[in-house]
Chain A
Amino acid sequence: MISDWEYLGRARNGEEEAWRLLFERHYGALVRMSALIIGSIDTAKDIAQEAFTCLLHDRNEHHGGSFRAYVSTIAFRLALKEKARVRRIGQSGHPESADDSYSPLHSVMQREEQRHLVRVIHMLPDQYRETIVLRFYGELSYEEMAETLGVPVGTVKSRIFYAVKECRKLMKKRGML
């Protein structure tokens, strides 16, 4: 079976089919992950696409580890950067420019339980939300999360446990569980 890393190599050599396959396989997960961080599906789509472009132009060889974790880390960093940019714009007195493209995520969700879930994840502190997103949507191992977040593995494990616990508590309050 051909690995995603191999498809990436082929895409870098201009093979459209390999590019299409990688995109279809991972794009949705990257959008979900980015959307939970920045709160907008449209911007999340742009971030996911940008992550793929970065991946294509990154000439470093990364043939070890999970491809999903690698591309998720790129999207995660882009999403955090975008979130910081939007916060800056909001603070610098031009909130309208930030609001245009940042429609609340829950308003575009069709299903009620999905809206509740988005609300709950957004109620979590940043650190908890980030660990949930990386683990459940980026499919990163605890070691990969530690590397991405720049903290020890023990801290990651502690954060993810309390994040899930808090999430369960909030969901129970809302009658989701």
Chain B
Amino acid sequence: MTRHVKNDELLKYQMDLLEEGKAKSIRQHLKRCRTCRSALDRAKADLHVIGGFNPEMEIIVPPLPTSSSSRVQSFLRVAAILAIGFLLGVLTSESLRSPAVEIVPQHFVGSPPATTVGQFTVCP
């Protein structure tokens, strides 16, 4: 290849759009042609500008989201702990139960209830 490489071809070369045979001949030409190397550098710089959109922004990492399956697992775990606690409570209350207290009713023995008016005392 003695003529200069066209700009479009250089752009394709830089963007890896050419077949290997064509790319190889351009590579060999570039070794001995300063003009084409400069043109290639311009293409590289342009591509760098096109890919250079980089707005300033603060990256705040949010907490790791929990999946629905892990939420279900957490729920089941809590439910299991509660069930075990309940069973343990029932079992220990059975074993530690104190003997029943017998309550004996005590009757008050006094005068029989009044049945006639005369039997009532008059308040002063």
Instruction: List chain A positions with a Cβ less than 8 A from chain B.
Output: 11-12, 14-16, 19-20, 23-24, 27-28, 31-32, 35-36, 41, 45, 49, 53, 56-57, 108-110, 113-114, 117-118, 121, 132, 136-137, 142, 157, 160-161, 164-165, 167-168, 171, 176-177
Contact = CB atoms under 8 A, between A and B. Distances in A.
A160 B15 CA distance: 9
A117 to B, nearest CB: 5
Contacts, number: 88
Contact of B46 (A15, A132, A177): A177
Contacts of B63: 16
A121 B16 CA distance: 21
Contacts of B12: 161
Given A164-B50, A176-B49, A28 B57 contact: yes
B53 A114 contact: yes
B43 to A, nearest CB: 8
B15 A136 contact: no
Contacts of A110: 55-56
Interface centre among A28, A132, A164 (most CB of B within 10 A): A164
A31 B46 contact: no
Nearest to B66: A14
Contacts of A176: 49
A117 B52 contact: yes
B61 interface: yes
Determine the main DSSP class of B at the interface with A: loop
Most A CB contacts (10 A, CB to CB) among B51, B52, B56 go to: B51
B-side interface size class: 20 to 34
A27 B59 CA distance: 8
Contacts of A114: 52-55
Contacts of B17: 157, 160-161
Nearest to B67: A57
A171 B46 contact: yes
Contacts of A31: 55, 57
Interface string B36-76: 00000000011101111111110101111111001000000
A28 B59 contact: yes
Contacts of B45: 177
A117 B53 CA distance: 7
B7 to A, nearest CB: 9
12 contacts: A11-B64, A14-B66, A16-B64, A24-B59, A27-B61, A28-B54, A108-B55, A136-B50, A136-B51, A137-B51, A157-B17, A165-B8
Contacts of A117: 49-50, 52-53
Contacts of A161: 8, 11-12, 15, 17
